[in-house]
Structures are given as structure tokens and as C-alpha cells.
Chain A
Amino acid sequence: MAEIDASIAARKPQEVNRQARTAWGLATPALALMFLILLVPVVVAGVLSFTNYSLGNSGFDWVGFKNFDRLFSRSTYEKMFIATFTYVVVVVPISVALGLGAALLVNSLGRIGDVYKTIYFLPVMATLLAMAIVWEFMLHPTIGVINQTFEMSCGTILEVIPFLANGCADGFPLWLGDRDYAIWVLCFIGIWQGFGFNMVLYLAGLTAVHRELYHAAEMDGAKSAWERFRLVTWPALGPTTVFVVTISCIRAFQVFDTVEAFWPQGGGPNKSTYVMMFAIFEKGVQQNLIGIGSAITMLFLVFVMFLTLIQRWLVERKVHYG
């Protein structure tokens, strides 16, 4: 007996070791790839953010926190933060709310809903760079449709509206060239482009709402559409909302192509649309200042990571009904 026990005890650790080795062996290729493709670039960017490296230079100097120091002291970067956060704070809530509203409306329609769905989703599918050209035309200060439409109101009763009255007197905004309007135009296009995507996500979420819950709500005395929305729809869309908000935030932080299309150099009038992604592109790629570009990238990653963590926490804590 004792002998057998001893041999089992002796064999067991070996067995376990062998299994562990095989497991590691099998996991290694995937781990290596993950490391190389996903983690190494981040680490490299992190390291470079403490240097003054430029592509083509044979060496570089460590500069410590100088790059980050610059980010938080120079007015250019202050404008970058203002532009980025303005964009995020405006675009995310509005595009989420519009997406939800559109999804609820489309969902309440029958077959015609599909038509609306396609139309609202068009801006998502269209390449933003191509659409930007159309927007640029429309927003042109003199020959653009928008200002020409406004001009038609001059001399009519519509002039009671202060905006139109001012425009007729002093000329209408330059839009893309106007430092007070540029960021709002950018936000508008961001919302226009993004809410269709949120709508599709919400439509998927709505299909998961149990129909009998609406009947239960009606039996329980929820008479208005708002009460049913509060009691059934909104809680059921909790997980979808967390996802939609996170995705919208990340997408808003990543806004780049509109800025690049409208203002290829400089990031808008008086740097009013100098968003982070554009700053990374300008510093890191156009001006070959890899160090400062990497520093902005690290900051960007921190924001996105932070958002993702909040999402994880919300999903696990607040909206998990299972």
C-alpha cells in the first residue's frame, strides 16, 4: 500500500509538470504574437515619450518628463485638450440620445422602418473623407448652399431671428474658417456621421426586450409611453447603453479624418479644432517629433483605458441582471 501511494505521489508532480509544459508550449505562439503586435508598440511608444527621438536620427537623448511637461504648459496643447474635450462632451451625449431616439422610432414602425434604418445608416457607411468634400462645398462662405439659404431670408419676416439679422447685416459665418464656429461644425458632422451607428446598436438591443414585459407594465398601470420606457425599455437597454457610450467616447477621442480633410495644416482657425489624433499625426508624422507624438499617444491611451475600465465596472456592477 505504502509503496503504491508513494509511486502515485511521485508520479503526480511529474504528470502535472508535463501538462503544464505542453500547455505553455501550445500557448507560446499566440502569446508571442500578442506581445509583439499588441503590447510591444505600446511599450515602445511609452519609452519614446521620454526621449527626443526623430526618425532617421542615429541616436536620441533621454529628456525625462519634458515632453509631458510641455503638454501641460504650452497653449497649443491647452487648445488641443479644449478642442478634444469639447468634441467628446458634445458629440457623445447627442449622438447617443439621437441614436436611441431614432432606434425607438424605427422600431415602432413596420416595414417602412427598414427604409429609415438604411437612410440613417448611410453616413456611417459613406467614407467620411468623401463626405467632407460635400460638406466643404455646402459650408463655403459665399457659394455654399447653407449661407445662400440664409441669405434668402434677408428682407423677409425671418429677420426677427437675431442670428439671421446679424448675418444679413455683417455677413454670415465663415463656418470652417471661423474660429467661433469651426469646432461646432466639426461636432455637427461628428453627430451626423455617428448617430446612425448608435441607432443600429440600439436596434439590436431593442430586439432583446421581452415583449411580455410591456404587457406586464400595461397591466401594472404604466399608461404613458414615458412610463413604459422608464419601467421596461431603458433598464433593458442598460448594457447596450454602456457599450454605446464607451464606443462613442472612443470614437470621439479618435476623431481625425474630418479635421485632416477640412484643415490639412494647422488644425483649424486659431487651432480651435486641434484634436488629439490630429496633434499626434502632426507632431509624430508630419514634423517627425516622435517624442512629443508618443507622449500625446500615451495620454490618449490613458483616456481610452480609463473609459474602458469605467465600462467594465458599470457592466459588472450596475447593469448586470443575470
Chain B
Amino acid sequence: MAGLSISSVTKRFGETEVLKGVTLDVADAEFVSLVGPSGCGKSTLLRIIAGLEDPTSGDIAIDGKAVTGTRAADRNLSMVFQSYALYPHLTVAENIAVPLRMRSLSAVQRLPLIGPFLPGAKEQRSEIATAVQSATEMLEIGPLLDRKPGQLSGGQRQRVALGRALVRDPAAFLLDEPLSNLDAKLRVQTRAEIAQLHRRLKATFIYVTHDQVEAMTMSDRIAVMMGGEILQCDAPSVIYEDPSNIRVAEFIGSPKINILPVELANTEMTLFGRVLGYITEAAQAGIYQLGLRPEALKLTQAAPVVTGTVAHMENLGSEVYAQIALANQTSRVTLRAAPAERRNLRLGAEVGLGFSLKDGLIFDADGKRQRRVEVAVTHEREVA
């Protein structure tokens, strides 16, 4: 097991720049997720780490040793592919054994008929069988050992692919959207199992996904990628509560964060022409964006900050999401409410919304987080 470091990696395919200088350090035994929308270059970055693709510039180091010129087979990394990439003509047991056979048996020892009778081959083969055995026990795929991949369900194939990755002891595991071909229920279950596997193996994991829920639930750290760059890399709670960029804030969290335009003039911050509060420190006047998570919005009758009508409701049982069309505005905001508040949220009902300013995230017009801009509520306006 080992740490990984990626420094200023760029990649172009012809004219298109897919990676624009990615730097990321992964500690030993850490679980880092690369999350971002489709096409942002996650797989490309993972394949560059694996050595299946050469970076245009930049370096990769595994355990402190630069591996930029080293071919994939010599980097001692394991990879799980999105399509699982199992060898269709081999049984489950043979599939899992391939990485060991390729590495520990010589070409002659691997020959079909005479191979097993060569000196040393017997011990090697029984070692491989033991390793395959323990990998399959860990993943509970013992009964499937003699089947071909074509006879397995998606979830079973996924386990075999995992088994093939963990049968040897690699420096790190690279997983490229391993759950995206599973149905929703199996995905939740396998998610937990992969996280457990990580704790058990104490191995370095780099996990690529476009699903922010997977990233949030499994990772030690999340690297949010967009347009070929890592926008932020932090612990899941930091990414959610303290995003440094409006695109990170919008990508992480479901339903999406509400963004409201606010204006800063003199020392006043106004929303739709109403003064929300006063900034404590001098900041540049202009248009800013106020981000409010759905749970930051509260239904209130007394002195609402904004009012609107309920345009759409989603009742999930344990919580209710309501989309509120703001009065005199084209935009909508999403509100998370407790089931008890449901009777106030009939479709078309007029509601008032309030929020606490300390829950608001302030971004500038370009989407950069403005942590310095702090707004204090004054005596005259009590924001519920």
C-alpha cells in the first residue's frame, strides 16, 4: 500500500484540453473520490494514474517514486472498470487468478498441457488457488467459481471484477464508476460493502463517480472535478458545508442549492430590493450570489424575507421537498420541510420563507466563494 501524488497533470486529445493541470495528493490508505459531471475528465485522469494513457505534461508518483515513464503493468495498481472487463472465455476462478498467473508464473509455466508439470509450477499454482479462495470468500462469490461471466448477473460480475482487483496486493485500487451499471438497491448495498472493504484492507482507493451520493457516503476526501480541473478537494462535510466555489456547491447536495442574487451597496446587502443585513467588513460593492441549502429555508408567517406560491411538491415520507415560485420573480427555490409542515404546503398555497444569514453562502459574480463578506442582522430586521 502506498500514497499517490499527481502533480500538474495536463492532457490534450488533439485540440481539446481534457485535463488542465490537475494536482492531487492521496495519502496511504486514504479513500479519495473523483466526482464530477460526465465528460469532465475523471476517467482520463484515472487512466493516466494507471498508466493506460500518457499525460501531455505533469507527473505521477506512487509511494514517492515517479512512475511517469513506467508502463501500466509495472505500476502495481489494480483497476476496476466500468464495464467490468472480465475475460468472457474464462470462469470466475480463472478470471480472478489472471493477475497472479501473469505475474508469478513464467510464460512456459502458463502453457496449457506441460505447464503444470514443470518444476516449481505446482507450488505456485497452489499458492494462486489459495489466494483466489480467500478473495472469493471475502466477496462471497464462492458458489460462482465455475461459471462464465456471461452466466452472471450485473452485481455478481461487479464482485468478480472486484475480486480480480484485490486478489493481489496492489499499491492502490483504482475504481472507475464501478456501481453505475447496477440497479439502485444493489448500488446502495455495494456502496457500503466497498467502504467496508476499504476499512478492512486499509488500502489506498481512488474512486471515480459522477454520483455525488456515492462520493459523500464513501470517501475520506472528495475531489470535485469540472472541466478538467479539480475545484476543491476536502472531506465530505467540508465540501457540503463550506464549498469554495458555486459550481461545487451546486454539484454536491440534492436537491440543488438555491442561488439568489443579492446586491451589495454601501454597507447594505439587499435581496430583491429588501435590505437583508449589513456587512461587517468593507467589501467591494456589486452583485453577489447567495447560496442557501434547501434545509436552510424555513416556512414562516411572521416577517418572511421572501414570499411565493407552492409550484411543485415531492413527498419522500421522511421529508418533503417543495418548489416555491417566488412572488414577482421568475426563479424558484427548493425548500426542505418536515412532514408535519405538509398541510401548509398545498399546491398553489401562498407561503412565506425565512432563513438565517449564517446559513447563507456568499459567492461573487464569478462564483468564487467570498468568505470575508460577513453580514450581520441589525436591530430593525429580524430574519426568522
Contacts and interface: CB of A to CB of B under 8 A. Distances in A.
Contacts of A232: 87
B88 to A, nearest CB: 4
Given A215-B81, A218-B72, A219-B72, A236 B88 contact: yes
A215 B89 contact: no
A222 B103 CA distance: 8
A212 B83 contact: yes
A220 B104 CA distance: 11
Nearest to A226: B107
Contacts of A219: 50, 52, 72-73, 77-79, 99
A21 interface: no
Contacts of B148: 321
* Most chain A CB neighbours (cut-off 10 Å) among B51, B79, B88, B148: B88
A220 B89 contact: no
A312 interface: no
Contact of A212 (B71, B85, B103): B85
B369 interface: no
B27 to A, nearest CB: 23
Contacts of A213: 85, 87
A29 B188 CA distance: 57
Contacts of B98: 220, 231
Contacts of B39: none
A215 B102 contact: no
A13 interface: no
B81 A321 contact: no
B88 A235 contact: yes
Nearest to B74: A223
B164 interface: yes
Interface string B61-88: 0000000000111100111011101111
A218 B52 CA distance: 8
Interface in A197-219: 210, 212-213, 215-216, 218-219
Given A231-B98, A235-B87, A220 B81 contact: no
A221 B107 CA distance: 12
B83 A220 contact: no
Interface in B73-126: 73-74, 77-79, 81-83, 85-90, 98-99, 102-103, 107
Given A219-B50, A219-B79, A221-B103, A321 B150 contact: yes
A238 interface: yes
B73 A221 contact: yes
A216 B150 contact: no
Nearest to A231: B87
A227 interface: yes
Nearest to B52: A215
A110 interface: no
- Residue of A216, A227, A231, A236 with highest tally of chain B CB at under 10 A: A216
Nearest to B81: A212
Given A215-B81, A227-B107, A221 B89 contact: no
A322 interface: yes
A222 B73 CA distance: 7
A220 B111 CA distance: 18
Given A210-B83, A215-B81, A227-B107, A220 B99 contact: yes
B79 A223 contact: no
Contacts, number: 67
Contacts of A321: 88-89, 148-150
Nearest to A222: B102
A227 B87 CA distance: 13
Contacts of B149: 321
Contacts of A222: 73, 102
A221 B50 CA distance: 12
A231 B164 CA distance: 15
A123 to B, nearest CB: 33
A248 to B, nearest CB: 22
Contacts of A220: 73, 98-99, 102, 164
A213 B161 CA distance: 12
Contacts of B102: 220-222, 227, 231
Nearest to A218: B72
A303 B226 CA distance: 64
Contacts of B103: 221
**Most chain-B CB neighbours within 10 Å: which of A212, A219, A221?**
A219
B73 A223 contact: yes
Nearest to A216: B85
Contacts of A210: 83, 85
A221 B176 CA distance: 19
B112 to A, nearest CB: 10
Contacts of B72: 215, 218-219
Interface string A221-261: 11100010001100110100000000000000000000000
A150 to B, nearest CB: 41
A186 B147 CA distance: 47
Contacts of A238: 89
Nearest to A227: B102
Contacts of A216: 79, 81, 85-87
Nearest to B97: A220
A152 B224 CA distance: 73
Contacts of B90: 235
B79 A322 contact: no
14 contacts: A213-B87, A215-B47, A215-B72, A218-B51, A219-B78, A219-B99, A220-B98, A223-B73, A235-B89, A235-B90, A319-B89, A321-B89, A321-B150, A322-B150
Q: Which 3 A-B pairs have the closest CB atoms?
A: A221-B102, A216-B85, A235-B89
Given A216-B86, A219-B73, 12 more contacts: A212-B83, A218-B52, A218-B71, A219-B72, A221-B73, A221-B103, A222-B102, A223-B71, A235-B87, A235-B89, A235-B90, A236-B88
